[in-house]
Amino acid sequence: MKPFTYARPDDAPAAVAALTADPDARFLAGGTNLLDHLKLGVVEPSQLVDVNRVTSTEITELDDGGLRIGAGVANSDLAADERVRRDHPAVAAAVLAGASGQLRNMASTGGNLLQRTRCPYFADATTPCTKRDLSQACSAREGWARYHAILGASEHCIATHPSDLAVALVAVDAQVQVLGRDGARTVPVRDFHRLPGDDPTRDTVLEHGDLVTAVDLPAPTPAVRNSTYRKVRDRASYAFALVSVAAGLEVRDGVVADVRLALGGVAHKPWHATTAEAALRGQPATDDAFRAAIAAELEAAEAVESPLGGNAFKIPLVTGTVVSTLRALSGGTA
Amino acid sequence: MTTTIPLSITVDGEQRDLAVDPRTTLLDALRDRLGVTTPKKGCDHGQCGACTVLLDGRRVLSCLTLAVAKDGADVVTANGLGEQHPVSEAFLANDAFQCGFCTPGQVCSAVGALDEARRGMPSAATADLTGPVELDRAEIAERMSGNLCRCAAYVNIVTAVEEAATR
């Protein structure tokens, strides 16, 4: 591991200033992803700026009925919060679907959003990867692409975003509070992560030195109160998603009054299924309508055909997972 | 040349002072600097759970923790829990291991998991997120999924944790 220095600033503005002054510095929060990457040589920072004592570990109620989750709130505490469990079940379920008990005790809310892809070529500094180095080619496209994107990929990168929490936050329309060199701003989580385009090195819209200080959950709507998270993976626990679905549904007189739908494991960012949502509103809450809506969303899907195993299976897997999740939320059998 | 940073942590009830290179993980500080070899280095990447310790009462992975960031922390290893601890006794009574390499991490993880369940914290196996936690075998397997056992003693590990939960 390349040597680095360690700093523990007293407040958030000082942490932002420390990063702003050093282009090779990184924030340290829970460290669960960063420590791994330091050991692998995926990142080689000059300095770690510890933000554990400058970000809030509290969940507080907002005037509009929403909740403000401090960026330092541990994943396990977020999932255990009674208000989150009651009013935002998809958020609690998504957190619990990720990682292990130990990791959820360590990982922070802010860091969860900022974790990097688990593409094996990104994590292996001996293989070419455009996300690590723009001058290199993508190894996944002709390689092991089982976990890779079917939506919104580019010729340079087919990586997926690994966060479960972020998928649920997209469904409930959470807002990310950011402190940067020019002050504080709010970024909707739906605009927070990027598609790879021609610069897959950037996962999010954040600039160097931007610090996530909190994540706000809006006041829950009936569809958000009736929400859940379903994750499909290669083993029953402690594995990343092949595909996942965060969904919320409000049905009135058999008709879809409101629906929230986001997909994980399918794209470089948590995928807000806006086409499917629009197709479903006002439609009868039936399997046929659910199936037609996700089919419309997946018209843009493009599977990776790779000699080491592609990911064409994800298209029917997403379809089945969405239909059964919405069916369960509408009162049917999952 | 990196300068070292002084820190003070409590390990199994004893205050220990040391100075570390910022790159030193808590696991390496415990094993290589303080001679506390109870937590094991399995994968060193947060995938196996062999390095699990209780940090300020919560189970964490010491291989993904920078020592320098934990100045003042209280660390308890399986050795600090001792053979008389109900979880240790349940592991012995139920043959919940073969080679034993993963056992210190399993025991610390089980102590943390039982505490989380007692405090009503849900898991992915909890059917009703707003309801009480009932520690059946599926709950225990889910809550212990961060600890791998390559001898595959899982069946007896679940039984041991199940028994310890009733003590």
CB contact under 8 A, A6 and B1: no
Tens digit of pLDDT at every position of chain A (334 positions):
999 999 999 999 999 999 999 999 999 999 999 999 999 999 999 999 999 999 999 999 999 999 999 999 999 999 999 999 999 999 999 999 999 999 999 999 999 999 999 999 999 999 999 999 999 999 999 999 999 999 999 999 999 999 999 999 999 999 999 999 999 999 999 999 999 999 999 999 999 999 999 999 999 999 999 999 999 999 999 999 999 999 999 999 999 999 999 999 999 999 999 999 999 999 999 999 999 999 999 999 999 999 888 999 999 999 999 999 999 999 976 6
B61 at interface of A, judged by CB pairs closer than 8 A:
yes
B124 at interface of A, judged by CB pairs closer than 8 A:
yes
Which of A79, A126, A275, A94 is closest to B130 using CA atoms? Answer: A79
Sign of CA dihedral B95, B99, B100, B105: negative
What would the pLDDT profile of B132-147 be if each residue is shown by its tens digit? 999 999 999 999 999 9
Q: Is the pLDDT of residue B89 over 90?
A: yes
CB A113 within 8 A of CB A107: no
**What does DSSP say about strands A47-50 and A243-252: parallel, antiparallel, or unpaired?**
unpaired
CB contact under 8 A, B46 and A103: yes
According to the model, what pLDDT value does residue A253 have? Answer: 96
B58 at interface of A, judged by CB pairs closer than 8 A:
yes
Identify the band that residue B1 occupies on the pLDDT scale cut at 50, 70 and 90.
Answer: low
B69 at interface of A, judged by CB pairs closer than 8 A:
yes
Identity of the residue in B49, B69, B142 whose CB atom sits nearest the CB atom of A50 = B69
Q: Is the pLDDT of residue B25 over 70?
A: yes
Minimum Cα–Cα distance from B71: chain A residue: A8
Minimum Cα–Cα distance from B52: chain A residue: A102
Identity of the residue in A35, A96, A103 whose CB atom sits nearest the CB atom of B124 = A96
CB contact under 8 A, A102 and B119: no
Region B59-64: what's the mean pLDDT?
A: 98
Region B49-73: what's the mean pLDDT?
A: 98
Minimum Cα–Cα distance from B122: chain A residue: A80
According to the model, what pLDDT value does residue B2 have? Answer: 67
CB contact under 8 A, A35 and B65: yes
| C-alpha to C-alpha distance for A272 and A261, rounded to whole angstroms | 6
Alpha helices, H only, B42-149: 78-81, 86-93, 103-118, 137-143
B64 at interface of A, judged by CB pairs closer than 8 A:
yes
Q: How many CB pairs under 8 A join A and B?
A: 112
The mean pLDDT value of chain B amounts to 97
Minimum Cα–Cα distance from A37: chain B residue: B45
CB contact under 8 A, A82 and B130: yes
Identity of the residue in A38, A76, A238 whose CB atom sits nearest the CB atom of B145 = A238
Identity of the residue in B5, B49, B122 whose CB atom sits nearest the CB atom of A6 = B5
Minimum Cα–Cα distance from A51: chain B residue: B69
CB contact under 8 A, A76 and B116: yes
**How distant is the Cα of A155 from the closest Cα of chain B, in angstroms?**
30
B70 at interface of A, judged by CB pairs closer than 8 A:
no
CB contact under 8 A, A105 and B59: yes
- Chain A residues interacting with chain B (CB cutoff of 8 angstroms): 1, 3-6, 8, 28, 31-32, 35-36, 38-40, 48, 50, 52, 76, 79-80, 82, 85-86, 89, 92-93, 96-97, 99-103, 105-106, 236-238
